[in-house]
Amino acid sequence: MYMIEFITEMSNTGNNGGTTVHTLLRGASGLATSYGRDNTINNRMYTTTILTTNLTLNDLLTFQYIYTANNYRIQTGTLNIYKYQ
C-alpha cells in the first residue's frame, strides 16, 4: 500500500483564469482526477492529488497535467510516493 502525492503550481501571465486538471493513470486505467484552484491575486494555479493504493513491481504510473488557458508554465512540481503500510 502506497500514498501518492502529485502537486503542481502553474502561472499564467497572459490569460488569468482557466482550469487545471491532474490525471493519475495506472497503465491505461484512471486512478484519480483532481481539479485545481486559480488564485487571481498572484496569478497562480494550484492542483494537488493524493491517493492511497496498492502498487506492484510492474505497475506503470502516468502523471498528467492539463491547464485549459494559454501562456502557462509550471513553476513547481512535486511527486512523492510513500510506503503507507
State the pLDDT confidence band at 14, using cuts at 50, 70 and 90.
low
State the pLDDT confidence band at 8, using cuts at 50, 70 and 90.
confident
Q: Where are the domains of the chain?
A: 2-83
DSSP the chain: -EEEEEEEEEEESSS----EEEEEEETTEEEEEEE-EEETTTTEEEEEEEEEE---TT--EEEEEEESSSSEEEEEEEEEEEE--
pLDDT tens, residue by residue, 19-60: 788 899 998 898 999 988 777 777 778 888 899 999 888 999
The position carrying cell 483532481 is: 34
